[in-house]
Amino acid sequence: NRAIENYLDKTPGSKDFFSQAKEVMPGGVTANIKSFDPYPVIMKKGNGAYLYDLDGNEYIDYLLSYGALMHGHGHPEINKAIHNQIEEEGTSLFGTPHLLEVEMGKKIQELYPSMELLRYTNSGTEATLLANRMAYAYTGKNKIAKFEGHYHGGYDQVLLSVNPPIDEAGLPHKPNAVIESSGVDSYHQEHTIILPFNDLDATAEILSKRRDEIAAVVLEPIQGGFIPAEQSFMAGLRKVTEELDILLIFDEVKTGFRLGLGGAQSLYKIKPDITALGKVVGGGFPVGMIGGKKEVMMVSSPKASSDVFDSSQSLKSSAKEVLFHSGTYNGHPSILAAGLATIHHLEKEINHVFAITNQLKEGINKLFAKRGVAMQSIGLGSIFNVVITEQDKILNYRQLQQSNFRIRKEIDFRLLCEGIYTKPLNRYSLSTVHGKKEINRTLDAYDRVLTQVF
Ligand code: PLP
């Protein structure tokens, strides 16, 4: 295929380096998502909206570290915040509550009023894991329900039916969870219940049958960051979960700050019981947070003892009987400084990034329309995806799987050769430093590529 040949011609340095990487890491990568055939581009430098690979090729970056970089690479305000923080305190953690934990917490409470109390973690994975455990602890039940096609991180309880084969009958007729990774015990197939996204009747039916077992429903309010829940589905899901005493967990690791300062919940005007955040709020560093209703979050609070020298307490557990949550790096000050600077800058620039994203979406739509090719640019805020399909609407994983990935992949490889970067088949994320110049350059490249493909 010509697209791959061009890619090979343009990236010999990446190819060479990747063979070294394979001598060090299984498959040459340290996160499976970073791998693609024939080999991934190896980037060497990032600056603003641009990336530069080992062969010196320049790319406009629409991957943005899987959405984490809201202000592109090396933004001066974030750099300054990190440097100031390190000047003041070094990289050290004091092992005590920190001023920045409270400053960040207050900012989050202001922007996400449903997060009445919060805790910090080191990744989105840890955040949703803690949210699930909290739901178990609070409700006394031992199962969670998640939606087919939704990703919540890399642990056993949720590595189910994220990317399952669709040759079987759809949900709810086959509600069995499909294991996504070797090493995940079949125990989890019994304890994680799979739901059909954007299908309220089927979801409500499954939930009401198993209400005594299901502690929480966890979902990406916008699947994969680009397939929105319908408003009526979301409102219905909130109502049903409340009626059935099931907690509702919004995984806003991807949507938080990218769909609005207050995330998807501010758009839908729905209050989840627990929210998980990550990515953008770490300013490019590893981060996670969960927050929610006071009475739910309080299950993690160490119990106060009436006597600080109580001899009956074991040394280990002043916090006996409460939900375990710990972590050496939770609330790392350097990360919180970067995260706060990220939020402050976004408060000034969010309208710009939304406007520029819309321009790109509309421009791409027009280029396909000009050629009479059916497709949709799906998404809200600063993320979207280009789905080549004749279907009217994409509402869930199964419908997405029926779109034309083959052509989309060819387009993506050709775009790579034109200096437009996202991992093939990945969604597009934009940043506040993407501007008119980058959009025009991207649309020109798109136009050339579509002429080659169609
Ligand atoms: N939840 C969602 C919706 C995500 O998109 C991701 C990461 O892509 C995660 C959770 C996991 O976050 P992390 O990669 O920080 O562990």
For residue 253, the domain's CATH number is 3.40.640.10
State the total domains in the chain. 2
Residues 149, 223 contacting (CB under 8 angstroms):
yes
Does 259 map to a domain? Answer: yes
Residue 251 annotated to the active site? yes
What amino acid is encoded at 298 in this protein? M
CA atoms of 431 and 452, how far apart (whole Å): 28
Backbone angles phi, psi at 49, to 5 degrees: -90, 5
Same domain, 166 and 251: yes
Annotated catalytic residue, options 61, 279, 421, 446: 279
Q: Which atom belonging to ligand 1 lies closest to the Cα atom of 153?
A: 11
Residue nearest to atom 13 of ligand 1 (CA): 124
Beta bridge partners of 249: 218, 274
Same domain, 103 and 240: yes
Annotated catalytic residue, options 39, 62, 151, 397: 151
* Widest distance between CA atoms in the chain: 79
Cα–Cα–Cα angle for 353, 224, 335, rounded to 5 degrees: 60
Does 82 map to a domain? Answer: no
Tell me the ipTM for this assembly. Answer: 0.99
Per-residue burial over 296-328, b = 16 or more CB atoms within 10 Å of its CB, e = otherwise: bbebbeeeeeeeeeeeeeeeeeeeeeebebeee
Same domain, 60 and 118: no
Same domain, 200 and 264: yes
Q: pTM of the full predicted structure?
A: 0.96
Residue 66 annotated to the active site? no
Same domain, 416 and 295: no
Same domain, 64 and 99: no
The enclosing H or E element of 216 equals strand 214-219
Beta bridge partners of 59: 51
Q: What is the CATH number for 426?
A: 3.90.1150.10
Same domain, 35 and 70: yes
Same domain, 401 and 297: no
Residue range of the domain that includes 291: 94-306+325-331
Same domain, 353 and 431: yes
> Measuring from each residue's beta carbon to the nearest atom of ligand 1, which residues come in under 6 Å?
66, 123-125, 128, 151-153, 220, 251, 253-254, 278
Last residue of a domain, one of 331, 366, 400: 331
User: What would the two tokens of residue 432 be?
Assistant: 């506040």
Q: How far is CA 394 from CA 171, 211, 240, 290, 398, in A?
A: 16, 29, 24, 29, 9
CA atoms of 252 and 263, how far apart (whole Å): 7
Cα–Cα–Cα angle for 357, 360, 363, rounded to 5 degrees: 145
Does 312 map to a domain? Answer: no
CA atoms of 66 and 279, how far apart (whole Å): 8
Same domain, 43 and 110: no
Does 132 map to a domain? Answer: yes
CB atoms within 10 A of CB 109: 15
Same domain, 109 and 212: yes
Q: How do the pLDDT tens digits run along the chain, 454 residues long?
A: 889 999 999 999 999 999 999 999 999 999 999 999 999 999 999 999 999 999 999 999 999 999 999 999 999 999 999 999 999 999 878 999 999 999 999 999 999 999 999 999 999 999 999 999 999 999 999 999 999 999 999 999 999 999 998 876 566 556 578 999 999 999 999 999 999 999 999 999 999 999 999 999 999 999 999 999 999 999 999 999 999 999 999 999 999 999 999 999 999 999 999 999 999 999 999 999 999 999 999 999 987 666 677 666 554 444 445 899 999 999 999 999 999 999 999 999 999 999 999 999 999 999 999 999 999 999 999 999 999 999 999 999 999 999 999 999 999 999 999 999 999 999 999 999 999 999 999 999 999 999 999 9
